[in-house]
């Protein structure tokens, strides 16, 4: 009994950390899949790029932590905007097979480029001194960095949801997700909206990749290795939904952590089974439109 | 089925006398075209000549050759789903891997007969295909894509965790494969492996060719082109799709088993997303839904991979990725599509 509570706290804590990283990375994917009807399998590559850039700026150029992460996010966002205009938008609402081929190609390019520039080993992320160490809460030592990660995630989620509810861009995005043709009819420039949404999603992924380097190690195979988890969060949450993936991420994060703690021999098996069951019951996801 | 279609059409036309003769001749032309599609054309002998030629021309590359032949079967099985039925899958490695592990476990546990091993592997993959297909095909679009992906991930996790039986991440060791029909031993030069793979591929190709040209195959293409209309004419769409999925699963299982038997090894990679993805790429490079796409795309991809990956695997990933992006931008229909377009253009000008 005495072990019970600390174990639960530990699971909840690490589960929520995982969920925050998963959500930051996957939310943009939900928008591209739901709004643009585009299966962007290469979405994880933006997260990876964010991680690599941030770690390089930190380790090699000795930049302050916050500045390095900010700069990495800005660079990835800019690159994603170019890719969206040049490549992605030609395939919106097109054949799934073309989208799969295109984005699989981009994954391979990202694997090759990352190995060429940074080598095959995981990239270390130097955490600033103030965020190192741990705090003891109810008999468990919780790392400060992960607390910081959860706080960052919570702030970002709140900002994102507020922006969606309160800003003009948010209203346009919701309108387009609900009914694309109607949104166009009332004069919303959906092409520009798509570009903004895509860039925002990629930027958040880069942020998630950079901040979460400790949860998902930055390796060249990043985009492929974690793809299934990102897709699960989006599919279970509901395509096009901003909130759905958050609850899906929490579910995946906490279940995954709990299973690894109690029944490590089951591995990710249960998560996959749960995903299949949920998708059979709710084919459009828990909060899909 | 062809007969039914043409007779209804002439029946309707009889109500409008002036159109009757025109429709009748169109029906005759259609019937002629339908019966002609079964006939073999001289071009179809080319892949087999090339395969036999390669056996004599490149005796040092027979191991790669038999891998290519077995992988063509996998590409054919994916083509039946994607090209002919219009079901996009990102998890066909699930069935390939089931076949590979079935054959591998049989051979590692005292039953090394290759031919019966192949059949059992096909059966096992078909059963997995039937069960998973029944679940996967209930959903559509992106959700369906997700389901295929998750099924493969699920099986990979099973193979990984059942390390006691499968060897887990280290791969399955200790396969002993008996001679084919008790006569042809698998030699170290890979001659038997190559010819065995070629024979199995030939049987699978005949099977696949028969399937896609049959009335059943036509109904699959109908489902691909217009599901609503197929429902309207009374086709049991869901059952046809599931049958296609199961058949495709059996072919994928044979392919996996063949690779397991000829290499005497099964690793977790047979179930990986990379396997599901790369077979899609090979098929698309060759051309989807044209039966021979697999025969062009698989050798091109695997030979290029063998050449470049030995020099520098990093180089390989980067350039194949870039190539895929360009392919999707500029060359829909793959190599076969480009060839067809060239031939048509020449035919038009002359």
| Cβ neighbours around A175 below 10 Å, total | 17
CB B252 within 8 A of CB B99: yes
What are A225-254's pLDDT values in tens digits? 899 899 999 999 988 888 899 999 999 999
Is residue A266 included in any domain, yes or no? yes
Report pTM: 0.87
Is residue A250 included in any domain, yes or no? yes
Q: How many residues does chain B have?
A: 350
The proportion of chain A whose per-residue pLDDT surpasses 70, expressed as a percent, equals 99
Chain-wide mean pLDDT for chain A?
89
Orientation of helix A144-166 relative to helix A4-35, angle to 10°: 40
Tokens of A69: 């992460």
Q: Give how far the C-alpha of residue A134 lies from the chain's centroid of Cα atoms, to the nearest Å.
A: 25
A119 reaches B (C-beta below 8 A): no
Instruction: Identify the closest residue of chain A to B147 by CA–CA distance.
Output: A276
Stretch A81-88: mean pLDDT: 93
Chain-wide mean pLDDT for chain B?
86
Q: Rounded CA gap, A81 and B166, in Å? A: 45
Stretch A255-269: mean pLDDT: 85
Name the minimum distance, in Å, from the CA of A43 to any CA of chain B: 15
Q: Is the dihedral of CA B46, B48, B51, B52 positive or negative?
A: negative
In angstroms, the Cα distances linking B90 to A40, A194, B81, B87, B247 are: 13, 26, 11, 10, 17
Q: Rounded CA gap, B198 and B213, in Å? A: 22
Residue B246 confidence class, pLDDT cut points 50, 70, 90? very high
Q: Is the dihedral of CA B143, B144, B147, B149 positive or negative?
A: negative
Is residue B30's pLDDT more than 90?
A: no
CB distance A109–B325 less than 8 Å?
yes
- DSSP H/E element including A142: strand A140-143
Question: pLDDT value at position A134?
Answer: 81
Q: Is A267 helix (H, G, I), strand (E, B) or coil?
A: coil
Question: Which residues 92-111 of chain A have a CB within 8 Å of chain B?
Answer: 96-98, 100-102, 104-111
Is residue A101's pLDDT more than 70?
A: yes
What are B62-117's pLDDT values in tens digits? 999 999 999 999 999 999 999 999 999 999 999 999 999 999 999 999 888 999 99
CB distance A231–B288 less than 8 Å?
no
Q: Give how far the C-alpha of residue A179 lies from the chain's centroid of Cα atoms, to the nearest Å.
A: 25
Residue B15 confidence class, pLDDT cut points 50, 70, 90? very low
Higher-scoring residue by pLDDT: A241, A267: A241
Name the minimum distance, in Å, from the CA of A178 to any CA of chain B: 18
Stretch B44-55: mean pLDDT: 90
Question: pLDDT value at position B18?
Answer: 55
For the purposes of burial, counting CB atoms within 10 Å of the CB of B166, is it exposed (0-12), middle (13-18) or buried (19 or more)? buried
For the purposes of burial, counting CB atoms within 10 Å of the CB of A216, is it exposed (0-12), middle (13-18) or buried (19 or more)? buried
Question: pLDDT value at position B39?
Answer: 75
Is residue A133 included in any domain, yes or no? no
CATH number assigned to the domain comprising residue A118: 1.10.3470
B281 to chain A: which residues are within 8 Å by CB? 101, 104-105
Q: Which residues of B87-120 are buried (b: 16+ CB within 10 A; e: fewer)?
A: bbbbbbbbbbbbbbbbbbbbbbeeebbbeebbbb
Is residue B347's pLDDT more than 80?
A: no
What are A168-219's pLDDT values in tens digits? 999 998 888 888 889 999 999 989 999 999 999 999 999 999 999 888 999 9
CB distance A109–B318 less than 8 Å?
yes
A235 to chain B: which residues are within 8 Å by CB? 142-143, 146
Q: Rounded CA gap, B287 and B285, in Å? A: 6
Question: pLDDT value at position A57?
Answer: 93
Which residues span the domain enclosing A31? 4-122+141-281
Paired residues of B70 in beta bridges: none
Is residue B179's pLDDT more than 90?
A: no
- The residue among B144, B160, B139 whose CA lies nearest residue B97 is B160
The proportion of chain B whose per-residue pLDDT surpasses 70, expressed as a percent, equals 91
Question: pLDDT value at position B6?
Answer: 41
Is residue A287 included in any domain, yes or no? no
CB A225 within 8 A of CB A42: no
Instruction: Identify the closest residue of chain B to A119 by CA–CA distance.
Output: B314
Higher-scoring residue by pLDDT: B150, B316: B150
Orientation of helix B334-349 relative to helix B293-311, angle to 10°: 120
Q: Rounded CA gap, B340 and B202, in Å? A: 24
DSSP class of residue B177 equals P
Is residue A130 included in any domain, yes or no? no
Question: pLDDT value at position A246?
Answer: 94
Is residue B223's pLDDT more than 50?
A: yes
The two most distant CA atoms of chain B are separated, in Å, by: 75
Among the partner-chain residues B140, B141, B277, the one whose CB lies closest to the CB of A104 is: B277
CB B99 within 8 A of CB B235: no
Helices of type H across chain B = 2-13, 17-36, 46-57, 62-79, 93-108, 114-136, 141-161, 163-166, 191-213, 215-225, 227-232, 237-263, 273-286, 293-311, 313-330, 334-349
Residue B4 confidence class, pLDDT cut points 50, 70, 90? very low
CB distance A108–B320 less than 8 Å?
yes
Out of A136-150, B20-34, B229-243, least confident range: B20-34
Question: pLDDT value at position B36?
Answer: 66
Is residue A74 included in any domain, yes or no? yes
Is residue A83 included in any domain, yes or no? yes
Is residue B9's pLDDT more than 50?
A: no
Q: Is A239 helix (H, G, I), strand (E, B) or coil?
A: coil
Stretch B285-299: mean pLDDT: 91
Q: Is the dihedral of CA B263, B268, B274, B275 positive or negative?
A: positive
Name the minimum distance, in Å, from the CA of A145 to any CA of chain B: 31
Residue B5 confidence class, pLDDT cut points 50, 70, 90? very low
Question: pLDDT value at position A198?
Answer: 93
Instruction: Identify the closest residue of chain A to B279 by CA–CA distance.
Output: A101
**Into how many domains does chain A fold?**
1
Question: pLDDT value at position B28?
Answer: 77
Question: pLDDT value at position B7?
Answer: 41
B88 to chain A: which residues are within 8 Å by CB? 96-97, 100
Question: pLDDT value at position B142?
Answer: 82
Beta-carbon contacts of A172 under 8 Å, excluding residues fewer than 6 positions away, are A183, A188, A193
CB distance A108–B149 less than 8 Å?
no
Higher-scoring residue by pLDDT: A114, A284: A114
Instruction: Identify the closest residue of chain B to A226 by CA–CA distance.
Output: B273
Stretch B332-347: mean pLDDT: 77
What are A7-30's pLDDT values in tens digits? 888 889 999 999 999 999 999 898
Is residue B17's pLDDT more than 70?
A: no
Beta-carbon contacts of B109 under 8 Å, excluding residues fewer than 6 positions away, are none
CB A141 within 8 A of CB A14: no
Q: Rounded CA gap, B92 and B282, in Å? A: 13
Is residue A11 included in any domain, yes or no? yes
Is residue A52's pLDDT more than 90?
A: yes
């Amino acid at each position: 009994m005495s072990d019970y509570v600390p174990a639960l706290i530990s699971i909840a804590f690490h589960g929520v950390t995982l969920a925050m990283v998963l959500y930051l990375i996957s939310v943009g994917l939900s928008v591209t899949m739901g709004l643009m009807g585009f299966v962007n399998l290469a979405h994880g590559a933006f997260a990876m790029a964010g991680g690599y850039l941030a770690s390089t700026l930190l380790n090699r150029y000795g930049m302050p932590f916050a500045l390095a992460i900010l700069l990495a996010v800005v660079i990835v966002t800019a690159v994603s905007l170019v890719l969206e205009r040049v490549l992605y938008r030609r395939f919106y609402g097109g054949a799934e097979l073309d989208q799969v081929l295109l984005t699989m190609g981009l994954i391979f390019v990202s694997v090759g480029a990352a190995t060429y520039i940074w080598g095959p080993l995981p990239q270390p992320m130097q955490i600033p001194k103030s965020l190192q160490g741990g705090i003891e809460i109810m008999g468990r030592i919780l790392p400060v960095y992960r607390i910081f990660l959860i706080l960052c995630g919570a702030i970002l989620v709140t900002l994102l949801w507020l922006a969606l509810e309160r800003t003009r861009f948010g209203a346009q995005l919701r309108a387009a997700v609900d009914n694309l043709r109607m949104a166009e009819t009332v004069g919303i420039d959906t092409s520009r909206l798509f570009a903004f949404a895509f860039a925002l999603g990629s930027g958040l992924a880069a942020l998630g990749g950079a901040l979460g380097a400790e949860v998902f190690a930055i390796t060249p195979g990043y985009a492929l290795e974690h793809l299934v988890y990102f897709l699960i969060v989006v599919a279970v949450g509901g395509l096009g939904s901003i909130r759905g993936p958050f609850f899906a991420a929490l579910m995946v994060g906490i279940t995954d952590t709990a299973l690894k703690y109690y029944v490590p021999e089951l591995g990710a098996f249960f998560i996959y089974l749960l995903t299949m069951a949920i998708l059979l019951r709710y084919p459009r996801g828990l909060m899909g439109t | 089925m062809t007969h039914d279609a043409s007779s209804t059409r002439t029946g309707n036309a009889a109500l409008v006398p002036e159109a009757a003769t025109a429709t009748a001749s169109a029906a005759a032309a259609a019937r002629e075209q339908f019966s002609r599609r079964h006939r073999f054309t001289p071009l179809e002998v080319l892949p087999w000549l090339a395969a036999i030629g390669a056996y004599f021309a490149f005796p040092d590359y027979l191991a790669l050759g038999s891998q290519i032949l077995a992988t063509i079967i996998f590409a054919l099985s994916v083509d039946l789903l994607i090209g002919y039925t219009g079901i996009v899958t990102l998890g066909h490695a699930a069935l390939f891997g089931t076949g590979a592990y079935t054959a591998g476990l049989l051979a590692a546990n005292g039953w090394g007969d290759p031919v019966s091993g192949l059949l059992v592997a096909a059966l096992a993959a078909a059963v997995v295909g039937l069960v998973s297909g029944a679940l996967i095909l209930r959903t559509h679009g992106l959700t369906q894509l997700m389901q295929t992906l998750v099924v493969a991930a699920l099986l990979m996790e099973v193979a990984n965790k059942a390390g006691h039986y499968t060897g887990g991440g280290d791969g399955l060791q200790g396969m002993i494969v008996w001679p084919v029909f008790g006569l042809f031993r698998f030699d170290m030069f890979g001659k038997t492996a190559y010819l065995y793979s070629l024979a199995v591929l030939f049987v699978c190709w005949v099977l696949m060719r028969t399937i896609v040209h049959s009335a059943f195959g036509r109904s699959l293409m109908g489902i691909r082109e217009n599901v609503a209309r197929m429902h309207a004419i009374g086709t049991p769409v869901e059952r046809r799709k599931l049958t296609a999925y199961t058949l495709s699963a059996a072919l994928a299982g044979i392919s996996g088993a063949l690779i397991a038997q000829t290499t005497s090894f099964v690793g977790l990679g047979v179930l990986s997303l990379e396997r599901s993805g790369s077979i899609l790429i090979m098929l698309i490079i060759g051309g989807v839904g044209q039966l021979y796409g697999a025969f062009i795309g698989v050798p091109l991809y695997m030979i290029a991979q063998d050449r470049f990956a030995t020099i520098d695997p990093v180089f390989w990933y980067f350039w194949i990725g870039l190539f895929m992006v360009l392919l999707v931008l500029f060359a829909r229909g793959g190599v076969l599509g480009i060839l067809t377009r060239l031939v048509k253009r020449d035919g038009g000008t002359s």
